[in-house]
A and B are shown apart, each in its own frame.
Chain A
């Protein structure tokens, strides 16, 4: 099988040399068990040492290796050559992000968004180490578990046409992470996160295309997180209209 070749067309952008991006064509041996990332590594090791891209774990958990493969955002360590071959594979940097070089995108904006939404625990009640763990039932854990499995690969941003045109949108993964804490029985930070989550660049910018959830490799379902945040915000609004409407305590 190795005497067959697979063909990749790879996006190249080398700001030190040229100012315009190009596509470069490479032929690599076709192996049934190779992922697309293996092909890139083959190129790097044997054909062209100047190709730049990110990767680390090669087991779909570190979130480094997201790229567009034939127009779809993919973790290149989790899609196989055999999924495309003999079709030519067009490998590009994740859409919607500025490109630093070749397949390497600029993540600064995403990293800032994680901080803006305060994606960390803001405890409902303080507890000392001596008091031991907070109790949390398996059912309470199940409420937010799915949203806690985001690997920050940003494929969902590359799939989101709203983010594509308006990068001020907080975006799928950051909202999912905020929701992850909002729905955690130990957390009391809803009000603090509401500031960014429900402002003009927050959940209401989402037009519910739903592609974020379709491309998410870890089944986080950020689209659901966003819609549920909208529901919470709506409930809050109506509660605030009536005099007996208490401030929300739980999601």
Chain B
């Protein structure tokens, strides 16, 4: 078995992973950087992000304002030192991306354009039409190609963290082409594996978003933080869950119920301004409220009977028609394309059916503001990490910027750590990888009786019901029981493909295992948090409880269900208040 050695190994080639790779590759040309990714990097789901990336750049905006928006958006569960660092570094990172060629949309004077986004009191979201993530990812990927010291392992699946004497020193990776498991070792590893929305049935997330990095860290003893906070985006297309970006509302789109009524006004989100009024859309109110509040308003409207019944669940309408063809085509071309292709509608003339859809995980691998996890040598950045920027609810367009800021920070910290701790127990690590190869072979040559698809579907259904926008103790307990049952049934998985060349069933099985671990942390953390905060709404505990729960949850792996502990939120200058929109 060949051992690949690098100075740092990055797992994941999405926005966070590529930013980390470039940060290390550019600043330290003498270092060798390995990037292990189960997808070709430009296929990563960052590619699907539409709306934009937040960063203070215009004179009418201020750092303080962005900080305050993030903190209240997070329902005070964000660590305020992290927020400050993030907001301060955001503009630099976005300018850097501009220098690398990102085709940001422009003002007539040639400066970059910004648009309003939910929960932001000033417009500060940079965008490249409505394909922002696509352009960011391709810019990063193309830029990364020019660094000779960035070595890619495309279509290689990280199956295990290699930990020796309390230090993470690499990963074991499964090469899809050969079926071989081999060690990629380095004194520092950065997880950038993205979110895990696929644990739910109805999601905007790509099939690859199975929470792998979270599960890898979790199994290595690192806690997963704030996993109960799952973001539901208010506007997904029924059936496919394809996202209709918040930018559609940032540009002035409105949400209406079955009677054409702007129902959000009934749910404490401010008063509507007429769509022809120059004041519209008023920032941080109505359609531009935060996502948690909008999705919750949908559920209440549904209970009231205001939504429309459809073949694929209840929905409301997103109305863009008043924006006019020119603006829609210029600012939202991808939305036009998606509506046309997948639902046969033209947003210039038609109403778009939308309903809340699982979109993003606020929680993730517990890290500090440099991406360092409690396990020495292990770092994490991007959606798989939880540096506690987003707290209980992420504001739209902060994630893309987060990838850049924390991807770069984690890389620098990891390089530094690697310099101080360069010794590697190569033989022991290789033995671990060999053992992993054996285990995989052994487990998957067994012929069980449970098809992957069935277990996955049962998991999805349990999460959809138990961990929905509104939850309660009973439902969560049922979900916990179901997940525990599925975990047991995993032992009897049936694999039919025993070939080693591009076997796609094997990774699907590994992903299912990861999803079950991640789902267990979500439901157990949610069960333990007996309050309502941000995206976590308990019918049986409808109030925020700062006394007990102004705290991050930490889920630790045990032999049975995870052990939930709590740690403090860092509050510096912004003491908790009531959240107010409108």
Contact = CB atoms under 8 A, between A and B. Distances in A.
* A and B pair up: yes
Interface of A: 14-17, 33, 44-46, 48-50, 52-53, 55-64, 78, 100-102, 104, 107, 111, 114-115, 118-121, 123, 127, 129, 132-138, 140-141, 144-145, 148-152, 177, 181, 184, 186-187
B40 A57 contact: no
A62 B145 contact: no
Given A115-B145, A118-B146, A121-B143, A49 B497 contact: yes
A123 B100 CA distance: 8
17 contacts: A14-B501, A52-B497, A56-B207, A57-B45, A57-B48, A59-B242, A59-B342, A64-B40, A107-B40, A129-B99, A132-B95, A133-B104, A137-B110, A141-B106, A152-B40, A152-B138, A186-B101
Contact of B43 (A59, A62, A120): A62
B478 interface: no
Most buried by A among B105, B109, B240: B240
A221 to B, nearest CB: 15
B28 interface: no
A177 B143 CA distance: 13
Contacts of B131: 61, 149
Interface in B475-518: 495-497, 499-505
Contacts, number: 156
A38 to B, nearest CB: 10
A135 B502 contact: no
B92 interface: yes
A59 B103 contact: no
Contacts of A33: 239
B98 interface: yes
A9 B206 CA distance: 26
Given A58-B240, A133-B111, A136-B110, A119 B142 contact: yes
Given A56-B45, A121-B143, A16 B499 contact: yes
Most buried by A among B112, B451, B504: B504
A114 B154 CA distance: 15
B497 A121 contact: no
Interface string B85-107: 00000001001101111011111
Closest 9 CB pairs of A and B: A135-B110, A45-B453, A121-B101, A49-B496, A16-B499, A101-B502, A50-B497, A120-B142, A62-B43
Contacts of B206: 56-58, 62
B363 to A, nearest CB: 23
B359 interface: no
B240 A49 contact: no
A55 B99 contact: no
Contacts of B497: 49-50, 52
A56 B39 contact: yes
A134 B550 CA distance: 43
B48 A62 contact: yes
> Which range contains the number of B residues in contact with the other chain?
35 or more
A50 B42 contact: no
Interface of B: 39-40, 42-45, 47-48, 92, 95-96, 98-101, 103-112, 131, 134-135, 138, 142-143, 145-146, 154, 177, 206-208, 239-240, 242-243, 334, 337-338, 341-342, 451-453, 495-497, 499-505
B99 A50 contact: no
Nearest to A110: B40
A55 B497 CA distance: 18
Contacts of B109: 135, 137
Contacts of A184: 101, 103
B504 A151 contact: no
Contact of B501 (A63, A100, A140): A100
Contact of B134 (A61, A104, A111): A61
Given A133-B98, A135-B110, A137-B108, A59 B40 contact: no
A31 B452 CA distance: 23
Given A33-B239, A133-B98, A61 B48 contact: yes
A141 B142 contact: no
Contact of B145 (A45, A78, A119, A137): A119
B492 to A, nearest CB: 15
A100 B177 contact: yes
Contacts of A63: 42-43, 47
Nearest to B110: A135
A55 B207 contact: yes
B499 A17 contact: yes
Given A49-B452, A58-B242, 11 more contacts: A46-B453, A56-B45, A59-B243, A78-B341, A114-B142, A119-B142, A120-B100, A120-B142, A120-B145, A121-B142, A129-B96
A63 B502 CA distance: 18
Given A33-B239, A138-B108, A148 B135 contact: yes
